[in-house]
């Protein structure tokens, strides 16, 4: 649920969907506390009592469907880890080829559409192409910062030093 993919889940991005871009980052620490420190293994064990607790937590977005989706997605992530060895190894199978699209001109890509479709086949929820695109941006798969943006070079540098999982 971490935006930078520490646990691999695009769930925090799922909460963002349909909301002001400032809403979820402002509540990040509340989400961290509510969702087991963003550890998918802990979230996968949540039960009905946890759902009730989360629905009563004024520090997060209290949308039952998204809360249930986060728990579901944590369970699906656990299954992927059992199958692939790590969620990161699975996600990196979808690394997009070089993309010549203009920076900041879209909210989805062919790679995000493919990953979204495959995640949904595995039972993940609230992982549409735009949500997955935002996840891919946060992970550094997609660097669509404008050429003049100070962040573009930082993302390129970080990406060039990254060792992909095997």
Terminal-to-terminal C-alpha distance of the chain? 22
Q: What is the pLDDT of residues 84-132, one digit of tens each?
A: 999 999 999 998 877 666 677 788 989 999 999 999 999 999 999 999 9
Is residue 8 scored above 70 in pLDDT? Answer: no
Q: Which of 102, 31, 97, 101 is nearest to 70 (CA)?
A: 31
- HSE on the CB side for 105, CA within 13 Å? 7
Residue 10 has pLDDT above 80, yes or no: no
Give the pLDDT confidence of 47-66 residue by residue, as tens digits.
999 999 999 999 999 999 99
Q: Please give the model's pTM, rounded to 2 decimal places.
A: 0.82
Helix, strand, coil distribution of the chain in percent, nearest 5:
60, 0, 40
Average pLDDT, the chain: 86
Which domains are assigned to the chain?
10-161 (1.10.340.30)
Q: Which residues are annotated as a binding site for Zn(2+)?
A: 145, 149
Cα(133)–Cα(83) distance, rounded to whole angstroms? 24
Of 70 and 143, the one with more pLDDT: 70
């Amino acid at each position: 649920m971490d935006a930078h993919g520490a646990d691999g889940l695009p769930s925090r991005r799922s909460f963002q969907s349909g909301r002001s871009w400032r809403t979820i980052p402002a509540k990040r620490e509340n989400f961290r506390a509510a969702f087991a420190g963003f550890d998918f293994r802990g979230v996968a064990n949540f039960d009905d009592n946890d759902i009730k607790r989360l629905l009563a937590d004024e520090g997060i977005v209290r949308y039952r469907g998204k809360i249930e989706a986060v728990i579901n997605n944590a369970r699906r992530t656990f299954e992927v880890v059992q199958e692939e060895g790590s969620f990161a190894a699975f996600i990196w199978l979808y690394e997009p080829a070089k993309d010549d699209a203009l920076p900041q001109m879209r909210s989805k890509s062919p790679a995000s559409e493919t990953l979204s479709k495959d995640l949904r086949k595995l039972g993940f929820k609230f992982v549409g192409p735009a949500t997955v695109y935002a996840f891919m941006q946060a992970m550094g798969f997609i660097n669509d910062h404008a050429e003049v943006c100070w962040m573009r070079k930082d993302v390129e540098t970080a990406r060039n030093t990254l060792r992909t999982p095997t």
